[in-house]
Structure 1
Amino acid sequence: MRTNQRAWLAGVALSALVAGAARAEEAPAPTNVEEVVITALRVEQPRSATPATVQVIGDQELVTQQALSQSAVEAVAALAPSFSPTRQKLSGAGETLRGRSPLYLVDGIPQSTPLRDDSRDGFTIDPFFIDRVEVVFGSNAIQGIGATGGVINYVTAPTPKEGEGWAGKIMGQTTFDDEGEGDSFGYKVAGLAGRDFGRWDFTAGAAYETRGAFYDAHGLRIGPDSTQGDIQDSDSWSLFGKAGFDLSDTRRIEVMANHFELEGDGDYIVVNGNRATGLPTSGWRGAQLGEPPRNKVSSIALAYRDRELLGGAFQAQAYTHDYQGTFGGGREGTFQDPRIAPVGTLFDQSENNSEKLGFKLDYERGIEALPGFRFLVGLDGIRDKTYQALILTGRNWVPETTYESLAPFLQLRQALFEGRVHLSAGVRQENATLKVDDYVTVYAAGGGVAVAGGSPSFEETLYNVGGTVTLIDGVTAYASYAQGFTMPDVGRVLRAVNTPGRDIDTYLDVEPVVSDNVELGVEVNRDRWRASLAYFESKSDRGALLVLNSGGTFDVQRQKTKIDGLEATLRVQATDWLTLGGAYSRLDGRTDGNGDGVLDRDLNGANISPDRFTAYAEATWGPASLRIQAQKYEGREFDGEPAANSFEGYTLVDAVGTWRFDVADVSLGVQNLLDEQYITYFSDTQNPTDNARYWAGRGRTISLTVAKSF
């Protein structure tokens, strides 16, 4: 019996154990954005009043995508038109939304580490505990720092409703590559349960997943990213809990806790590929040195809501977020110190640490004398302490750096002509200080340079204005201007100071990266079909670009940038049992490569995604359903970049079939159904001489999922 056949049989047996007794359930309808309060916008308003592109990925859509891949990032990438192709690695460097970095949130808690951006903020919660994903496209500052490309808010599972009794879900899943050996086998088990007891309620769950090795369509094991971290050959476990207490019919207090760990097993070492011959990087069995790469995240949030406070609605949230990101080790030149070991022999590895404390206060109400008028006033505060350590030698590579911010904001809305016109305008005042104590750089930076600390600060006023018009019932046009901001990656600057006599107050540039986003769009929501078309333009006078250095890692450069693009979507309920849909996105990006103020070269693959077509068909026959989806990434050349960094493009097709039996809901997912051999977008467009990071994409992958909701 072949090894992958044994894996298949083992997977069936494992899933059957998890299934237990279940009953058939009808598939829920797709999420109607008009009926959902989008918490990422911090106001309760219908979609027709929102002058921006918003997409809600509902629970059933997430279930379908998780039948293909247990990654929330993969789900967003498959469904959001202008999200770039994923790296299929733990690091999301270069993964963008509309060509800029999105801000990831979990129930409004920021997951990013902007002071030392390691791009791992997409893997901080198990997708089993996510109820829906809210994607707000384009730069905005409503959630504070980081949303230059938009906001991706993971909204966690709610507590059970009154009268439901015990409610929850369980699932088991097995996954393997059909061309791979037995080491491609992986599995996942997860459960979530809760109950409403009247005045108080709770839900709690746990998830565990082990992932095998990944194989490309030619049956070659895909090489691991032993430095930045990988999701293949890894284990993850997660605990989640939420509890609430109703103080009255209008007042409620709620606490949410999330703990997530993903750690590599370190069972494979990199075997260099050959870009000249098209041979991808692969992996052989062997023990990686040092500690395996890991993500470890703990978040706690306490929220209070009062829907009838002085005629308005008040909500407050306080949160803590603790993150540790361990990277793979090596004998890189930046790690060397002859005081510890002979140069070239010292092995070390880094760990990024971020501890956040924050709060958000919102108050919204109308004014009786002004029909249709509402205002939202609020205050955000955050304290983010970040440092990057070299954990095997006890050194700090990036010194402890503290970012403190207080930001009051005001948002105004006016409905006119019986709600057919909605106008909005807002302002946010960001007041931030960066605190760094005296420190000494590592030896590789000028032999170890003493740097005087300081507390540079900045103030930035950010604006937004927009409006929507219901042209006819079901057809809404909108226009908006909004600003977003983020911090430059100051950690990269601090760790590289190599000139004596520097002090933080005069040396460090903390001017924020401010992006100006203009958007025009129209949306149609008729009985059997929905469509949208949006044009956007995003500019930044001093952007933050990822630029590859001679050491094979990325530096951040402040350059003028401009991105414009077009997005279109269509969904048609062709018959009662068949739904067809698709999307198209086109992006163009230019930057000032020599600092003369002229946009003279294209943004490269580390900063902008390729043009993309997507299409899907969903069919339902009684208890059975089938979804087939395709993604076509167009080839691209980059003006001003080496020809070897051009992107060839590729097309991927996935399929998910679900059967709702009396005993279980069973899904069979096939990712890369046609077994397309391709090089990932990041590998194809970056560093044409690096044969250790010439990764192919994953070949045909089969997942069997058994789940029950109760």
Structure 2
Amino acid sequence: MRCKYSYLLAGAAWVAAPAAQATEAEAFAADAIVVSAARSALPSNALPLTIDVIDMESLAQQAAISGSVVDAVATLIPSFSPTRQKLSGSGETLRGRSPLFAINGIPQSTPLRDGSRDGFTIDPFFVERVEVIFGSNALQGIGGTGGIVNQVTVGAPKTDGVSGRFLAQGTADDGFSSDGLGGKTAGLVGYRSGRFDATVGAAYEKRGAFYDGEGRRIGVDSTQGETQDSQSWSLFGRFGYQLDDTARLDLIANRFELEGDGDYIIVEGNRLTGLPASATKGNPPGQPATNRTESLSLSLTDTDLAGGDFVSQLFFNRSRDTFGGDPTPIATFQDPAIAPVGTLFDQSQNRSRKLGGKFTYERAVPGFEALTATVGFDALFDKTEQRLIATGRTWVPPTDFRSLAPFTQLNLALFDETLRLAGGLRHEMARIKVEDYTTLAAYGSRFVEGGAPKFSDTLFNGGVIVEPVEGIRAYVSYAEGYTVPDVGRITRAVSAEGVRIDDFLDISPIVSNNREVGFEIAKGPLDASVSYFWSTSKKGQLLTLVGGVYEVQRQRVEIEGLELNVAVRTPVPGLTLSTGYAHIVGRTDSDGDGEVDIDLDGANISPDRLNLAAAYAYGPVTARVQTQVYLSRTFEGSDPRNDFGGYTLTDATVRYVTRFGGISLSVQNLFDKHYITYNSQVQRPDDNFRFYAGRGRVWTLGWDYQF
């Protein structure tokens, strides 16, 4: 088990207190944090899980550099793939598989038709910490095959009266281009009176055009969506009531919308000469790409209900992801019954709505206090469809998903907690319902008979933790994760006659397992961990480019890797040096003989990576310099034009606290490195329009104030 705040893991401390004053006991106390995503009130060092926690200060530091939660996670965690720097997160993985993004345990992913927008559903200003659970597991239900990225929103005010904080910052490219300027303002106000408390906030951000290391405007992805040339609004509210000394009721609401301004059109690049795509002023057709998410949850918790800990949550989540229109009419959208082939313009929109509930009760077994038992039940109802909004056609038919899942966990502490045995099971009962529908003309206008196939499976987990000396731990674990393939990609691409959904076996679930061995030490100035993991899926999901659109292939997938993190507090007061390394290998079965024979390509797995960082936190000054080295790699069995050449990026930030608030200056890509993004290097070798450079040097000046 590994659980460290990111300033220990990666040497980041965004705090005003001197780091040199932190004691070893305080470090152990931090290590004993309770992680809500683990569905247990036990401290994380009692669980056979690999966990990282990015606290609010470290998250604010990374958000000042790069602007988003997903960028922060991708920067600090070596086994997370490099981001695309676009609105779409397609191809971004954790340990070679898709993670489940959640807010307070509410799933943000849309696995029935994965729009890959789940990393942009809340402004990081409203996030108190990010809990990352590594590897396949079913703790939060469907979707956690690569792990869980749970964003825990800000807590209730601690004292009576009014409190709050504000943020204002401006961003500019290295040339301070007028259209490259951006800015953000955000505020949060809390009030507490006796048993009642309320917290409300709002954030607005305007992003300008992005420029690469050679001063050229970066090409826009008008179809999948952009973070550049966009505006985002985020509203947050939390209202709580303390029913008694141990019971509390919370209502939490969040609304986030990011909308492209649509001021640019793509300019074709040239892969042969290495010239990346660019952008010029213009009006792309249709509506700009937009991401909108709304969440509402009501939770009741009681830390002493009949001697145990009770957590319940009812939630509603709705998302509407609009994809932009391609300047060249997409062949898939053509229909001669509507317009001559090659002239019909259209664009799609994902619509997803979730209703769910989660209930957990945990307590020590009476008369056998060394054994802690957890029982729970989850219910999820998800309805998703993908429509073509210009012509009103249905691309992905409305699909209803229902999941009912009871689960139980046991945790046994032996020999004064030097040895722990943990394990449990979760029984998933799922149904996918699709009504009769007809595919688009590009697929032959095939009539498909609907159906409601059902699946059920029992998912196991277990592990052993040994802690012979405080601060030194070793663990082994096994956990199974569960998701469904991208059902929408499968149903929309039916091109054969006489298909019945009930007999269409390719929508059977993906069950992945994760086996892991790890060791960690947190003694004195040293904080280090190493883990080796491997996972398999007998019938995994592989995205394959077909006619310009990614479709799903079901193949056996095997992934293994090594992850290493070391942080050392130096004799220099407040100075921490750290490094992290991840090596991941993925293979798949291309010929269906049950044996893996080729590498997973870059659309499905990340490159190896080395992280280096130096952080300083003493008195009113905090500073950090961080470098990510993405190592080159080839993909056996893939087009050699998709091999990855590697690149190295360095960021820096400094903050000074005064009586009037904190002043910060952050620089992304400190050395103004010119590079082609990982995603662009490893996919679409013949596509000169989606050949994107990464951002060059970016300056961010910020001011924050708390009261």
Fold equivalence (TM over 0.5): yes
Matched-pair contact (CA < 8 Å) for 2:402–2:430: yes
Match of 2:404 in 1: 406
Counterpart contact for 1:407–1:428, Cα < 8 Å = yes
The offset of 1:312, in angstroms, is 1.4
* Partner AA of 1:326 in structure 2: T
Match of 2:603 among 594, 606, 613: 606
Give the drift of 1:621: 4.5
- For 1:271, the equivalent position in structure 2 comes to 267
1:444 maps to 2:471 = no
1:213 aligns with 2:209: yes
2:368 is aligned, of 367, 370, 383, to: 370
Within 2, Cα distance between the matches of 1:222 and 1:692? 11
- Alignment match of 1:416 (pick from 404, 414, 426): 414
Q: What is the CA–CA distance in structure 1 between the aligned matches of 2:518 and 2:531, rounded to whole Å?
A: 4
* CA shift digits 1:36-65 (9 cap, x unpaired): 210000101223212121100011101111
Matched, 1:182 2:178: yes
Partner of 1:3: none
Q: Is the CA contact 1:140–1:484 (under 8 Å) kept in the aligned structure 2?
A: yes
Q: What secondary structure is seen at the aligned counterpart in 1 of 2:60?
A: helix
Q: Is the 8 A contact 1:458 1:510 kept in 2?
A: no
Question: 1:445-492, CA deviations, whole angstroms, 9 ceiling, x for partnerless residues?
Answer: 20x222211111111110001010003221000000000011011111
Of 497, 501, 507, the match for 1:500 = 497
Q: Distance in 2 between matches of 1:560 and 1:485?
A: 15
Q: CA deviation at 1:194?
A: 0.4
What does residue 566 of structure 2 align with? 570
Residues in 2 aligned to 1:430 and 1:180: alpha-carbon distance in whole angstroms: 54
Q: Secondary structure at the match of 1:61?
A: helix
Corresponding residue SS for 2:324: coil
Matches of residues 56-71 of structure 1 in structure 2 within 5 Å? Answer: 56-71=53-68
Of 526-535 and 211-220, deviating more is 526-535
Q: Which residue of 1 aligns with 2:534?
A: 537
Quickly say closer, same or farther: Cα 1:406–1:621, change in 2 above 3 A: closer
State the match for 1:649 in structure 2: 646
- Is 1:222 equivalent to 2:212 in the alignment? no
- C-alpha distance 27-360 of structure 1, shift in aligned 2 (>3 A): farther
Amino acid at match of 2:277: T
What SS does structure 2 have at the residue aligned with 1:698? coil
Partner of 2:10: none
* Structure 2 match to 1:97: 94
Q: AA paired with 1:408?
A: P
SS at match of 1:692: coil
Q: CA offset at residue 25 of structure 1? A: 5.2
Give the deviation of 1:27 after TM superposition: 6.8
Query: C-alpha deviations, 1:613-650, integer Å up to 9, x for none?
Result: 10111123432221100000100011111111110101
On the 8 A contact 1:213/1:222 being kept in 2, the answer is yes
Match of 1:254 among 245, 250, 257: 250
Aligned mates of 2:359, 2:619 — CA distance in 1: 47
Q: Which residue of 1 aligns with 2:4?
A: none
Instruction: Work out whether residues 179 and 217 of structure 1, in 8 Å CA contact, stay in contact via their aligned partners in 2.
Output: no
Q: Paired residue for 2:296?
A: 300
Matched, 1:396 2:382: no
Partner of 1:561: 557
Moved more, 368-377 or 264-273: 368-377
Aligned to 1:707: 704
Q: Which residue of 2 aligns with 1:482?
A: 479
| Cα offsets for 1:556-594 (capped at 9, x unmatched) | 111111111001111111132211111011001111111
Counterpart of 2:340 in 1: which secondary structure?
Answer: coil
- The alignment partner of 2:489 has SS state of helix
Rounded Cα–Cα distance in structure 1 between residues aligned with 2:438 and 2:277 = 38
With the length of structure 1 as denominator, give the TM-score of the two structures.
0.95
- The sequence identity of aligned pairs, in percent, is 52
Aligned residue number for residue 286 of structure 1: 282
1:206-237 deviation line (CA, Å, top 9, x unaligned): 00000000000000100011110010000000
What corresponds to 1:682 in structure 2?
679
Correspondence 1:523 to 2:520? yes
Does the CA-based 8 Å contact 1:180-1:215 persist in structure 2?
Answer: no
Give distance in 1, aligned partners of 2:430 and 2:706. Answer: 46
Structure 1 segments (4+ residues) deviating >3 Å: 24-33
**Cα distance between partner residues in 2 of 1:33 and 1:385:** 40
Instruction: Find the aligned partners of 2:315 and 2:414 in 1 and give their Cα distance.
Output: 37
Q: C-alpha separation between the residues in 2 aligned to 1:155 and 1:513?
A: 27
Amino acid paired to 1:406: L
Contact 1:563 1:590 in 2 (8 A): yes
Work out the CA distance in 1 between the residues paired with 2:565 and 2:93: 19
* Distance in structure 2 (CA, Å) of the matches to 1:306 and 1:524: 34
> Does the 8 Å CA contact 2:41/2:309 hold for their aligned counterparts?
no
How far does the alpha carbon of each residue in 1:465-520 deviate from its partner, in whole angstroms, 9 at most, with x for none?
A: 10100032210000000000110111111112222322211125331111111000
Q: C-alpha root-mean-square deviation of aligned residues, in Å?
A: 1.4
- Once the two structures are TM-superposed, the CA of residue 439 in structure 1 deviates from its matched residue by 1.4
Aligned AA for 1:452?
A: E
CA distance in 2, matches of 1:189, 1:262: 15
- Answer yes or no: is the 8 Å Cα contact 2:17–2:618 preserved in 1: no
| CA distance in structure 2 between the partners assigned to 1:43 and 1:644 by the alignment | 47
Equivalent of residue 164 in structure 2, options 162, 168, 190: 168
Tell me the equivalent position of 2:384.
386
Q: In structure 1, which of residues 193, 198, 215 is the aligned counterpart of residue 194 of structure 2?
A: 198
Match of 1:17 in 2: none
Code of the residue aligned with 1:561 in structure 2: it is V
1:120-139 map, 5 Å = 120-139=117-136
Name the CA distance, whole Å, in 2 between partners of 1:497 and 1:685.
28
Question: How far has the Cα of 1:397 moved from its partner?
Answer: 0.7
Q: Which runs of 5+ in 1 are unaligned?
A: 1-23
Whole-angstrom CA distance in 2 between matches of 1:328 and 1:472: 56
Match of 2:356 in 1: 358
**Secondary structure, in 3 states, of the residue corresponding to 1:379?**
strand
Which position in structure 1 is the counterpart of 2:621? Answer: 624
Distance 2:623 2:502 in 1: 60
Aligned length: 684
Residues 370 and 507 of structure 1, relative CA distance in 2, 3 Å threshold:
same
Inter-partner Cα distance in structure 1 for 2:413 and 2:549: 50
Query: Could you say if the C-alpha distance between residues 293 and 121 of structure 1 is closer, same or farther in structure 2, counting changes exceeding 3 Å?
Result: same
Q: Give the corresponding residue for 1:435.
A: 433
Q: Distance in 1 between matches of 2:617 and 2:302?
A: 42
Per-residue deviation at 1:310? 2.2
Shift of residue 179, structure 1, vs aligned partner: 3.1
Is the CA contact 2:433–2:452 (under 8 Å) kept in the aligned structure 1?
yes
> For residue 649 of structure 1, what is the amino acid of its counterpart?
G
8 Å contact from structure 1 (residues 48, 470) kept in 2 = no
Runs of 5+ unmatched residues, structure 2 = 1-14
User: 2: distance between equivalents of 1:566 and 1:674?
Assistant: 29
Q: Is the 8 A contact 2:530 2:565 kept in 1?
A: yes
Give CA-to-partner distance per residue, 1:103-133, whole Å, 9 cap, x none: 0000000000000011110000011100000
Which amino acid counterpart does residue 415 of structure 1 have in structure 2?
Answer: A
CA 1:301 to 1:33, structure 2 compared with 1: closer, same or farther past 3 Å? Answer: same
Between the aligned partners of 1:139 and 1:515, the Cα distance in structure 2 is 6
Match of 1:18 in 2: none
2: CA distance between counterparts of 1:578 and 1:502?
A: 64
- Tell whether the 8 Å contact from 1:216 to 1:697 is kept in structure 2 after alignment: yes
Are 1:37 and 1:46, in contact at CA under 8 Å, matched by a contact in 2? Answer: yes
Match for residue 72 of structure 1 among 53, 69, 72:
69
Number of the residue aligned with 2:7: none
Contact 1:234 / 1:262 at 8 angstroms: preserved in 2? Answer: yes
Residues 33 and 55 of structure 1 are in contact (CA less than 8 Å); yes or no, is this contact kept in structure 2?
no
